Amino acid sequence: MGEVNRQILLDRLPAGDKLGPEHFRLTESAVPSAGEGEVLLRTRYISLDAANRAWMQGATYRSALEGGQVMAGGALAEVVQSNVGHLKPGDTIFADTGWQDYAVLPGKQLEKLPPMEPMTHLMSIYGIAGLTAYFGLLECGQPKAGETVVVSAAAGSVGSIVGQIAKIKGCRVVGIAGGEEKGRWLTEELGFDAAVDYKSPEFKRLLRAEVPDGVDVYFDNTGGAVFEAVLFAMKNFGRIACCGALSQYDGAPPPHGPRGIPGLIVTKRLTLRGFVVMDFDDQREAALKDLQGWVASGQLKVQEDIVDGLENTPAALIGLLAGENRGKRMVKVR
């Protein structure tokens, strides 16, 4: 094909320290060819998520990553060569291509995505971010009109959508995010009722001031101290959707978990439910119909944070873990 396949390797695993550029290495190899039953893909946009960092800590819903391999990650990709009947060159798919220009994968695992402009919406609002927000809030949190919903990492890819869906459902929504600028964006642009800065030394007091009557539903993206603070503000019979633990992924683990929580969960009769978006595959089409309707009506705003260049993928992930992004962060490969 007259090209090379640029690849970003996870050169070594972080050993209890924060993820840095030194943990990655850019290399080049020959462009692979598709064998029987396989498809050659050219990556277009690479998804960046906190889960990328979690995979470095051990097995989750996928195998743990190891040093020396191509960094794992999902991507929107274009079919270049196909040896399966249901896909042809030019089709768009979403797959775990890893951080590289080209990847060969078994065709039976892949499904053609519908045409979409912009294509990036297939990764953000109509992809894992949007579906995670939809199912995590509505199936796990089960909010009712008039209830108070709190969302952590509210300016991120999932949290920013969760808050908007909660507003559509008639809830009062409080977002937790880092910094006054993000807080203004949540309230002035996305329609949240209030925002609380978790970086403030007065965070707990500010949070309680915004939820004086307590919290009915908490969508947790962070774990750690933020989780603990909201937990103590939950109403009796409150529901917590446990989506991620961003505060726990990067750097040394905390010396202990929140104390006194088992008793608190019992006395307040709380429901905590962890989930991954694949749990709800059978409801995917209905969810997409709702999301598309809300976007078309202007009730749901789509925020994407696109970084150019495969070589910038490590820095883009490191920045995401530090809270640089608003909305869904991804890398445009070429």
What pLDDT, in 10s, does the model give residues 6-52?
999 999 998 877 899 999 999 999 999 999 999 999 999 999 998 89
**Whether residue 220 has pLDDT greater than 60:** yes
Q: What is the pLDDT of residue 32?
A: 96
Q: What is the pLDDT of residue 233?
A: 96
Write down the domain spans for the chain. Answer: 4-121+303-332, 128-278
- The gap between the terminal CA atoms of the chain, to the nearest Å, is 16
- Bridge-based pairing of strands 234-242 and 24-30 is unpaired
When the pLDDT of each residue in the chain is averaged and rounded to a whole number, the result is: 93
Q: Are 23 and 44 in contact (CB under 8 A)?
A: no
**Whether residue 263 has pLDDT greater than 90:** no
With pLDDT > 70 as the criterion, what percentage of the chain qualifies? Answer: 94
Return the CATH superfamily for domain 128-278. NAD(P)-binding Rossmann-like Domain (3.40.50.720)
Write down the pTM of the prediction.
0.91
CB atoms within 10 A of CB 99: 27
61-75, 125-139, 226-240, 250-264: the lowest-pLDDT one: 250-264
Q: What is the pLDDT of residue 196?
A: 98
Average pLDDT over residues 68-96: 96
Q: What is the pLDDT of residue 254?
A: 56
Average pLDDT over residues 115-120: 94
Fold annotation for 4-121+303-332: Quinone Oxidoreductase; Chain A, domain 1 (3.90.180)
7-16, 52-61, 152-161: the lowest-pLDDT one: 52-61
Which helix (H) or strand (E) segment holds residue 264: the answer is: helix 261-268
Q: What is the pLDDT of residue 334?
A: 81
Q: Are 310 and 99 in contact (CB under 8 A)?
A: yes
**Whether residue 95 has pLDDT greater than 70:** yes
User: Cα 7–12–13 angle (5° rounding)?
Assistant: 115
Tokens of 146: 């008039």
Tokens of 132: 């995670």
**Whether residue 66 has pLDDT greater than 70:** yes
Higher pLDDT, 256 or 286: 286
Average pLDDT over residues 228-254: 82
**Whether residue 88 has pLDDT greater than 90:** yes
Q: What is the pLDDT of residue 60?
A: 67
Q: Residues 292-327: pLDDT tens digits?
A: 999 999 999 999 999 999 999 999 999 999 889 999
Q: What is the pLDDT of residue 217?
A: 98
Q: What is the pLDDT of residue 245?
A: 75
Q: What is the pLDDT of residue 102?
A: 98
The answer to whether the Cα torsion of 252, 256, 262, 265 is positive or negative is negative
Q: What is the pLDDT of residue 16?
A: 73
Q: How far apart are CA 209 and CA 8, in angstroms?
A: 46
